Amino acid sequence: MKQAYDVCVFGAGPAGTAVAIRLADLGVTALVLDRPPRNKALGGESFTGAIRQPLSILGLWENFRNAGYVASYEQRTAWGGEPWIQDTIYDPNGNRWHVNRARFDDDLREALRKRGVSVVGYETLGDLRRTGNGWRVSVDQVPEISSKFLVDATGRSSAVARRLGVRPRSYSRLVGLTALIRRNPNPQFDHAMVIEATPHGWWYAAPVPQGHVLAFFTDADLAPRALTRSMRTVPANSVFTPSETTQGWVAVGDACAAHDPLCGWGVHRALSNGILAAEAIGCYLKNSDISLLEDYGRHCRNQFKAYLVGLTKHYSYEQRWIESPFWKRRASPMTLAA
């Protein structure tokens, strides 16, 4: 295995693969180090039509469109009042997509393989240290890898950022209790996503190629025991980790900014910001110009700041259970820490 690379990317999820694919297209050599996640992605997930833009930049849109995913044309919502239906015909980005997340991630990794980008699995991160203008990394039995730049795409664990002394800031205790169930036999739900608020959280359901994804989102300390025994628990809290863009590394995807699933932006922003990060890294390696890296850091911070404002506003629409702990915790505006 080649030991010297321009960029070492930790994580082979949507953010990490987007960075590595874009770097390869820019002629930058990258190595992807992938540690199997403790909590695998949901069996299914919903994307807005805006997913087309980053996938097109990565050359993956046609493959995505022909993958057999479920097109979604409406969202049925019971939140803050009378139930209502929103038709995607009015969305400039077009219909939503309900995908097989494992298939989606596999297709991203296949795009890496086609570009000749190496993906190396590992269990233990050993040495990680700055040496002059570069880095020295060791994982498992690989004694040493040299890299000019690092990318933390390790998801909510932010493993690289934490190793480098940067502490993520969490803004909620939200978790998702999830299950993949048989498809709802009612044809009215063949292409519909459902969101319903309850006194202790909110439900989400959507069709995917393998059946129906069902999830209940609440705070970790409020999760009903019956559901925790029968459904898989995954973190869903809002988290922000500042990137040290002038120190030879950046964070992307959930390692930078993890979102409440209510917004539906997680994978789209992982891909889009991964592309931005790759272009900034490419410029830095070519010209020693850090301006795009600094722009990327500001962009992520401002984006997350606006996200918190919008998230607070959306939760405020539900006033039926304002004394319930779940909703009471979301009554106060969330602001990005300095």
Domains identified in the chain and CATH numbers: 4-328 (3.50.50.60)
Model's pTM, two decimal places?
0.93
pLDDT score, position 41: 54
Any idea which residue has 């205790």 for tokens?
173
Query: Among residues of the chain, what percentage have pLDDT more than 90?
Result: 77
Quick one: pLDDT at residue 224? 94
Provide φ and ψ at 255, rounded to 5°. Answer: -65, -20
CB 237 within 8 A of CB 175: yes
In this model, does residue 71 exceed pLDDT 80? Answer: yes
pLDDT digits (tens, 9 = 90+) for 224-269: 999 999 999 999 999 999 877 778 999 999 999 999 999 988 999 9
How crowded is residue 284: how many other Cβ atoms within 10 Å of its Cβ? Answer: 21
| AA letter at 185 | P
To the nearest 10°, report the CA torsion of 316, 317, 321, 326.
-40
Contact status, residue 271 vs residue 18, Cβ threshold 8 Å: yes
Three-class DSSP category at 70: strand
How far lies 24's CA from each of 46, 56, 107, in Å?
A: 28, 15, 16
Residue 127: which pLDDT band, with cuts at 50, 70 and 90? confident
Mean pLDDT value of segment 81-95: 90
> Region 69-75: what's the mean pLDDT?
92
Cα-Cα-Cα-Cα dihedral sign, residues 270, 137, 298, 238: positive
Residue pair 208/182 in contact (Cβ under 8 Å)? The answer is no
Summarised one tens digit per residue, pLDDT across range 270-288 is 999 999 999 999 999 999 9
Query: Rounded mean pLDDT of the chain?
Result: 92
Per-residue confidence (pLDDT) for residue 89, from 0 to 100: 87
pLDDT reported for residue 142: 72
Q: Which residue has the higher pLDDT, 3 or 111?
A: 111
Residue 43 has pLDDT above 70, yes or no: no
Beta strand ranges found along 153-223 (DSSP E) = 169-170, 174-181, 192-198, 201-208, 211-219
